Amino acid sequence: MTEHADFDFVAGEVLFINKPVGWTSFDVVNKIRYALKQYLGIKKIKIGHAGTLDPLASGLLIICTGRKTKIIDQFQQLDKTYSGVIRLGATTPSFDLETEIDKSYPFDHISASDLMQAMSTLTGKLQQIPPLYSAIKIKGKRAYLYARNEDDVELAPREIIIYALDLLSYEPPDVHIRVVCSKGTYIRSLARDLGIALQTGAHLAALCREQIGPYQLKDAYGLPEMIEKIQVLPRS
């Protein structure tokens, strides 16, 4: 990314942001849009993100402005790298901590070798069923709206690729993992599937997106830092 003195947001910029936990991806986009409109004295600017991160996840979010919004799809096609924590022994309807635990299961019998064996079955090309608590559209309606109404609907499985699923550490009930995967992969669904493979329950307790293609989280701006840089831009 160029230095802030050389930014041309209307012509187009690609911003690498470290999304904080608790913010939706659209929250971040709207925050930056508002800052640009206010401090540059403009009424409208094109801006969008190149791949949603769940509100409870943190990490790399790519945001494009101006004419660079035309290349958003190129970023969306790239592989992703995540680190996260899968918690054994319980399930939630959303497959993460967005919803309350609905069922509990024993997990004390599960060893690190059991984990590695189960994880080996969850690599390569897979047919993954996305979470119902997601923004996928079913008959023109977001899936999470069906979920909140407790409507009986099903999502079709999608082909994904898990290039690597590494066990970083096991501190029962928490499984610390690193995942390299194709676009369209839901790590929440991976957590669910790991629980099924281990004949227990599991849900995603934490997630951080560390890399999108060649772009790394370590090179991203924090959201407050990005807003501060916009605020010192010269007004048009």
Q: Where are the domains of the chain?
A: 4-77+215-231, 80-212
Q: Looking at the domain covering 4-77+215-231, what would its CATH class be?
A: alpha beta
pLDDT at 41: 86
Alpha carbon distance 118, 162 (integer Å) = 14
Q: Looking at the domain covering 80-212, what would its CATH class be?
A: alpha beta
| Cβ atoms 127, 141 nearer than 8 A | no
pLDDT at 229: 85
Q: How far is CA 171 from the centre of its chain?
A: 23
Q: What is the pLDDT along the chain (236 residues), one digit of tens a residue?
A: 444 456 788 889 999 999 999 999 999 999 999 999 988 888 999 999 999 999 999 999 999 999 999 999 999 999 999 999 999 999 999 999 999 999 999 999 999 999 999 999 999 999 998 888 767 777 677 766 766 766 667 778 999 999 999 999 999 999 999 999 999 999 999 999 999 999 999 999 999 999 999 999 999 999 999 998 888 766 65
Alpha carbon distance 169, 112 (integer Å) = 8
pLDDT at 187: 97
Alpha carbon distance 39, 121 (integer Å) = 51
Alpha carbon distance 105, 156 (integer Å) = 27
Q: Give the per-residue SS3 of the chain.
A: CCCHHHCCCCCCCEEEEEECCCCCHHHHHHHHHHHHHHHHCCCCCCEEECCCCCCCCEEEEEEEEHHHHHHHHHHHCCCEEEEEEEEECEECCCCCCCCCCCEECCCCCCCHHHHHHHHHCCCEEEEECCCCCCCCEECCEEHHHHHHCCCCCCCCCEEEEEEEEEEEEEECCEEEEEEEECCCCCHHHHHHHHHHHCCCCEEEEEEEEEEECCEEHHHCEEHHHHHHHHHCCCCC
pLDDT at 234: 61
pLDDT at 2: 41
pLDDT at 185: 96
pLDDT at 197: 97
Q: Among residues 6, 27, 54, 151, which one is catalytic?
A: 54
Is position 54 annotated as part of the catalytic site? Answer: yes
